[in-house]
């Protein structure tokens, strides 16, 4: 089956979990949307043509507004490609077939290509410096669980503090990728997930969303978004203007 319909009830299973094995292309659409009706035949044609190299999942935004809000859908059609539980690319609007084909070819393995070996089978650097560099690379790619495995039981030494600073970000991204609840408040849980989605592509948006959470969260629960922000600071480095900007704003909030 190359094409399925998904809802909020089965999104975790059909999109997040299945994207661990194959790319899942989610088409956010609505019945009243004219451009959606123009794009859908193109997506379905390519899904059948690629024949299992990706899964097309169609989600009606009118019937599933929470999922649409969670993933920042503001205009439709909005098409997002999921890999390993995360959005890795997207486009908006009724794009021509040639553009959609190029979009897919950037992310979907060619027919007959040998699948990449699972991340767990790759050689893990034994030295602390190598482990820390690889963990940072994974975090920039949004691969929280891979980073978490490198930062867990990190070797003692001068780099251990740096590894500890990154751990809240790795734990957060890993929890999101597994579809686990972050906040008991539904509105803040959505903002958390928007922050996780933005870290790879737009760190400024991630920091902004975490700052929003800090302003709205109860005092007893402010420590986590603060720790995640500080982990992003450590990932970006002190010289990054974003770090200087948001560090000042963080300092102004009474934790």
Catalytic residue status for 33: yes
User: Which entry of 33, 55, 139, 198 is annotated as an active-site residue?
Assistant: 33
User: Which entry of 15, 26, 36, 243 is annotated as an active-site residue?
Assistant: 36
Dist CA 5 CA 60 (whole Å): 8
In terms of Cβ atoms closer than 10 Å to its own Cβ (0-12, 13-18, 19+), residue 69 is middle
Beta bridge partners of 28: 59, 78
User: 56 by DSSP, 3-state: which?
Assistant: strand
CA distances from 158 to 126, 135, 167, 234, 238 (A): 15, 16, 16, 15, 18
Strand 78-83 and strand 86-92: pairing? antiparallel
Catalytic residue set: 33, 36
């Amino acid at each position: 089956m190359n094409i399925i319909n998904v809802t909020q009830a089965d999104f975790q299973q059909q999109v997040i979990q299945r994207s661990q094995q194959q790319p899942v292309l989610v088409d956010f659409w609505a019945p009243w949307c004219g451009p959606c009706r123009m794009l859908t035949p193109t997506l379905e044609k390519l899904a059948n043509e690629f024949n299992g190299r990706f899964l097309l999942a169609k989600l009606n935004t009118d019937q599933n507004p929470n999922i649409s809000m969670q993933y920042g859908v503001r205009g439709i059609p909005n098409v997002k490609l999921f890999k390993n539980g995360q959005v890795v690319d997207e486009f908006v609007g009724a794009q021509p077939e040639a553009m959609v084909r190029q979009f897919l070819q950037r992310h979907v393995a060619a027919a007959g290509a040998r699948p990449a070996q699972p991340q767990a089978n790759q050689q893990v650097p034994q030295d602390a410096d190598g482990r820390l560099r690889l963990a940072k690379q994974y975090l920039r790619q949004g691969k929280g669980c891979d980073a978490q495995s490198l930062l867990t039981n990190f070797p003692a030494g001068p780099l251990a503090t740096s590894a500890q600073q990154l751990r809240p970000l790795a734990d957060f991204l890993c929890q999101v990728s597994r579809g686990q609840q972050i906040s008991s408040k539904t509105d803040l849980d959505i903002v958390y997930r928007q922050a996780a989605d933005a870290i790879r592509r737009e760190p400024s948006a991630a920091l902004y969303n975490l700052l929003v959470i800090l302003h709205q969260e109860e005092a007893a629960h402010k420590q986590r978004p603060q720790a995640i922000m500080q982990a992003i600071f450590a990932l970006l480095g002190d010289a990054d203007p974003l770090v200087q900007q948001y560090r000042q704003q963080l300092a102004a909030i009474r934790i």
